[in-house]
């Protein structure tokens, strides 16, 4: 900056000559008009309106003029700067509007495009069917009870009146985990107090041992429903799987009779298959119930109409009119005694059945392998029950 003009000499200040101011103004306006984007405009602003721009420098020289000339120069420089700032603001608004418009087009979202959805998993129909059965009994006041899958032989057989030399023991195709006498320590949950010294450990072949555990854990009256996984040394094929599911039921109370068993079965079958579906009992033998029965239900599809009626065959019951469900009976007094329950005072009933089988006839599943392979094309049609 030039030194203040104290002598009032008519000093010529180059930057403030009208032509220089005019040129700076024109240069600035031309550069502003030529700025093609916001970045370029930013550079133009620094060059033509920044602290070191010709007009800013000229402004600073005003003080070097004789007082009389200052007003005129100040006016000219001020006007030029005002014009440049205004042009900058206008161009900025234009470029911003252009940018916004471009962004709107470039980043447009087509809300009509189909969304990419993460497919919802579905619970396995075995699980939902088991829970549905549990619900039927919970609604009647039963408690859900569970036991270990690795089970002491004593629970799986002995306490259920299946002694070591009992034929039923060898009929169960059992997976053995620890031989008798080897100790039950290795099997989690199986080494309970009552497993008896020398009891081997097996993968439970049925859910009936949960009856024993429930009776040992509780004082009668006992009403439990016991869902669970069971194991037998079967090859996997269309009608067998070495790992399958059962639901067991046990009621022990004063004065229970076969009529209570029958009424309970009718209620369960009604709740699962329709109110008017009845059951029937056929004599059978199980070591842990006496008397024992096989329970059937009326075919819920043909309701017996297919029997002797070749014109209307029924696939669900093979035109038998009845569907076999499982085993049942009155709890053998020897089982009550083994669990410390007085058979003179208490009686009980029990039943147990396979869930895979029920799923097969309830939903026309023809091959058990579909249930274990984990293919979502099998589970999806059952929906996403929670």
Could you list the residues known to form a binding site for Mg(2+), using ranges: 290
- For residue 329, the minimal CB distance to ligand DAH (Å) is 5
The stretch near ligand DAH (CB under 6 A) out of 2-10, 97-105, 180-188, 323-331 is: 323-331
Stretch that binds ligand DAH, among 6-14, 99-107, 109-117, 321-329 (CB under 6 A): 321-329
DSSP-assigned states of every residue in 179-219: -TTS-STTSTTT--GGG-TT--EEE-SSSTHHHHHHHHHSP
Instruction: Evaluate whether 228 touches 210 at the Cβ level (below 8 Å).
Output: yes
Whose Cβ is closer to ligand DAH: residue 81's or residue 206's? 206
The stretch near ligand DAH (CB under 6 A) out of 122-130, 188-196, 325-333, 376-384 is: 325-333
By the rule CB under 6 A, 248 interacts with ligand DAH: yes
Contact (CB, 8 A) for 349 and 259: no
**Which of the residues 277 through 306 are near ligand DAH (CB under 6 A)?**
286, 289
| Numbered residues of the known binding site | 290
Cβ-count burial 211-250 (b if 16+ within 10 Å, e if not): bbbbbbebebebbbbbbbebbbeeeeeeeebeebbbbbbb
Distance CA 305, CA 334 (A): 42
Short-list 248, 249, 246, 247, CA closest to 223 = 249
Among 21, 62, 145, 350, binds ligand DAH (CB under 6 A): 350
Q: Which of 148, 287, 327, 348 binds ligand DAH (CB under 6 A)?
A: 327
SS3 27: helix
Q: Give the residue, chosen from 214, 352, 355, 371, that forms a contact with ligand DAH under the rule CB under 6 A.
A: 352
In whole angstroms, give the CA distance from residue 169 to residue 156.
Answer: 9
> Minimum distance between the CB of residue 211 and ligand DAH, rounded to whole angstroms?
7
Sheet of strand 201-203, all strands in order from the earlier edge strand to the far edge: 150-152, 201-203, 175-178
Per-position x/- string for 190-209, each x denoting binding to ligand DAH as judged by CB under 6 A, each - no binding: ----------------x-x-
Distance (Å) of CA 50 to CA 44, 85, 87, 88, 343: 9, 10, 14, 12, 105
Of 228 and 327, which CB lies nearer to ligand DAH in the complex structure? Answer: 327
Find out whether 242 and 368 touch, Cβ atoms under 8 Å.
Answer: no
Report in angstroms how near the CB of residue 258 gets to ligand DAH at its nearest: 12
Phi, psi of 291 (to 5 degrees): -75, 165
At 240, list the tokens: 């067998």
Stretches 65-73, 118-126, 273-281, 322-330: which one binds ligand DAH (CB under 6 A)? Answer: 322-330
Q: Whose CA is closest to 169, among 199, 211, 147?
A: 199
> Which range, of 19-27, 130-138, 303-311, 327-335, touches ligand DAH by CB under 6 A?
327-335
State the number of binding residues for ligand DAH (CB under 6 A): 12
Least CB distance from residue 294 to ligand DAH, whole Å?
8
Euclidean distance between CA atoms 321 and 323, whole angstroms: 7
Residue 364 CB, nearest approach to ligand DAH (Å): 24
- Asked if 329 touches ligand DAH (CB under 6 A), the answer is yes
Instruction: Identify residues 72-111 at the interface with ligand DAH (CB under 6 A).
Output: none
Residues of this chain that interact with ligand DAH (CB under 6 A) are: 206, 208, 248, 286, 289, 326-329, 350-352
């Amino acid at each position: 900056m030039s030194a203040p003009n104290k002598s009032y000499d008519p000093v010529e200040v180059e930057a403030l000559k009208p032509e220089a101011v005019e040129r700076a103004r024109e240069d600035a306006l031309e550069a502003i008009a030529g700025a093609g984007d916001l970045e370029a405009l930013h550079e133009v602003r620094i060059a033509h309106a920044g602290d070191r721009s010709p007009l800013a420098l000229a402004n600073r020289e005003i003080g070097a003029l004789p007082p009389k000339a200052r007003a005129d120069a100040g006016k000219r420089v001020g006007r030029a700067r005002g014009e440049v700032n205004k042009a900058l603001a206008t161009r900025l608004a234009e470029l911003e509007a252009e940018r916004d418009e471009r962004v709107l087009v470039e980043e447009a979202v087509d809300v009509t495009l189909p969304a990419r959805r993460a497919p919802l998993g579905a619970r396995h129909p075995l699980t939902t069917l088991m829970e549905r059965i549990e619900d039927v009994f919970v609604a009647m006041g039963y408690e859900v009870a569970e036991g270990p899958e690795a089970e002491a032989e004593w629970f799986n057989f002995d306490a259920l009146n299946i002694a070591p030399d009992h034929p039923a023991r060898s009929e169960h195709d059992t997976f053995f985990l620890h031989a008798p006498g080897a100790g039950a320590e290795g099997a989690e949950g199986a080494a309970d107090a009552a497993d008896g010294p020398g009891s081997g450990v097996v993968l439970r072949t049925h859910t009936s041992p949960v009856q024993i555990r429930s009776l040992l854990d509780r004082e009668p009256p006992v009403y439990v429903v016991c869902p669970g996984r069971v194991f037998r040394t079967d090859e996997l094929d269309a009608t067998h799987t070495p790992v399958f599911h059962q639901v067991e039921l046990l009621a022990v109370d004063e004065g229970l009779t076969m009529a209570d068993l029958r009424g309970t079965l009718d209620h369960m079958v009604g709740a699962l298959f329709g109110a008017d579906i009845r059951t029937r009992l056929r004599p059978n033998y199980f070591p842990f119930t006496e008397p024992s029965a096989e329970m059937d239900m009326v075919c819920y599809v043909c309701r017996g109409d297919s029997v002797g009626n070749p014109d209307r065959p029924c696939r669900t019951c093979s035109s038998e009119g009845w569907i076999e469900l499982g085993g049942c009976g009155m709890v053998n007094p020897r089982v009550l005694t083994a669990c410390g329950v007085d058979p003179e005072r208490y009686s009980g009933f029990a039943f147990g059945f396979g869930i895979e089988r029920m799923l097969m006839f309830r939903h026309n599943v023809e091959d058990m392998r579909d249930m274990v392979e984990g293919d979502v094309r099998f589970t999806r049609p059952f929906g996403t029950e929670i």
